[in-house]
Amino acid sequence: MSQAKQQTVEDFRMNVIYAFNGDADGLCALQQLRLADPRQAKLVTGVKRDIKLLDRVIADEGDEVIALDVSLDTNRAGLSRLLDSGAYVQYFDHHFAGEQPDHERFTSHIDTASDVCTSILVDRYLGGAYHAWAIAAAFGDNLPKVANTMAAAAGINASARATLEKLGIYLNYNAYGESLEDLHFDPALLAEEMLPYNDPLEFVRNSKAFAALSTGYEADMELARQLQPVRQGAASSIVMLPDEAWARRAIGVLANELMQAQPGHAIAILSPKSRGGFTVSIRVPTNSSLGADEFCRAFPTGGGRRGAGGINELPTAEFDRFADLFETRFTAS
């Protein structure tokens, strides 16, 4: 943001509103920005798949809205409405964005490269002020090589690195569910629990929330790891989860684990929805000619980024077509 534009915001903004994805990346991006600028702010968030967050933001002229880790393309209508209302909008994200608005009150920090997440973009914006939170986020967003490289460069020892990895995974795990009732913690409440801690390792040592997430994660993943694919292609696997809260919580971490165990396979995990159909979580190999986001956008509620995507609502009648297309598009090279 230019100095002149920043001065305008400081002079006239009234409310500060963060709209952030409830997963590890969204939470850690929020944490860094709130530590750097500890003003009172409104929080708008939800479960991992609740991504049209700007539709829920009410802002007036001069208000500042900061969007974190949700696709601009998905939030285009809400963004336009907020800019028309006179709000300033800063956007930090790494998902497919489409065309970005050319507007004096819009500032973009969007990078869709495969080796970044939103928290890394915030870390760059803040000059590394709260670097360890960005490392935890990278672990949680299934970027272990990036996270380990960042940690090594920062001189973080192996023990602390392993703790940051657990934290990132647990924060990410907490966001998955059909509704807030599925989660161990509402992400907005978890954000408040995290806020006092400049150092994520202090959060791990002192927060009861971390202990609760650790216990819940281990119990859920013990069940999830027993599941077997319902369709197995030469370079693809499709897993169907049972209609249980533990399974809905485990979907994201299970997808990441299967991807790491079978790095040459595309992975799809389907979770039944209470009103019918499925939520789909997809991971694809780094060398795939087709990105997960591109594949998922072939379905009305699909999106994501190159290595990881999802479909919010896949009708039951579409399962066979989805499965056939998934196995056809992701084949052994």
Domains of the chain: 3-216 (3.90.1640), 231-329 (3.10.310.30)
- For the segment 39-55, the average pLDDT, to the nearest whole number, is 95
- Reduced to 3 states (helix: H, G, I; strand: E, B; else coil), residue 114 is coil
Q: Which secondary-structure segment (H or E) carries 177?
A: none
DSSP conformational letter for 116 = -
- For the segment 163-191, the average pLDDT, to the nearest whole number, is 96
Is 50 exceeded by the pLDDT of residue 3?
A: no
- Nearest Cα to Cα of residue 5 among 74, 106, 93: 106
Is 70 exceeded by the pLDDT of residue 207?
A: yes
Which residue in the block uniquely carries the two structure tokens 């991992």?
A: 48
- Reduced to 3 states (helix: H, G, I; strand: E, B; else coil), residue 180 is helix
Structure confidence at residue 304 (pLDDT):
87
Beta bridge partner(s), residue 65: 17, 89
Distance set, CA 47 to CA 35, 114, 133, 141, 174 (Å): 23, 23, 20, 15, 9
Q: Which amino acid is at 22?
A: G
Number of C-beta neighbours around residue 192 at 10 A = 14
- For the segment 131-160, the average pLDDT, to the nearest whole number, is 97
Is 50 exceeded by the pLDDT of residue 37?
A: yes
d(CA 125, CA 48): 24
Which residue in the block uniquely carries the two structure tokens 């913690």?
A: 185
Is 70 exceeded by the pLDDT of residue 20?
A: yes
d(CA 174, CA 178): 12
Q: Which amino acid is at 189?
A: L
Q: Are 78 and 52 in contact (CB under 8 A)?
A: yes
- For the segment 124-153, the average pLDDT, to the nearest whole number, is 97
Q: Which of 126-130, 163-167, 250-254 has the lowest mean pLDDT?
A: 250-254
DSSP conformational letter for 62 = T
Structure confidence at residue 332 (pLDDT):
60
The strand ranges marked E within the chain are 16-20, 42-44, 64-68, 88-93, 106-110, 231-232, 236-240, 266-272, 278-283, 302-304, 308-314
Structure confidence at residue 260 (pLDDT):
86
Round the average pLDDT of the chain to a whole number and report it: 93
pTM: 0.84
Which residue in the block uniquely carries the two structure tokens 């399974």?
A: 247
d(CA 52, CA 22): 12
Cα 164 to the center of its chain, rounded Å: 17
d(CA 24, CA 285): 21
The model's pLDDT over 248-278, given as tens digits with 9 standing for 90+, comes to 999 888 988 898 888 889 999 999 998 899 9
Structure confidence at residue 87 (pLDDT):
97
**Packing angle, helices 158-174 and 144-153, rounded to 10:** 140
Q: Are 22 and 69 in contact (CB under 8 A)?
A: no
Structure confidence at residue 11 (pLDDT):
47
Structure confidence at residue 6 (pLDDT):
45
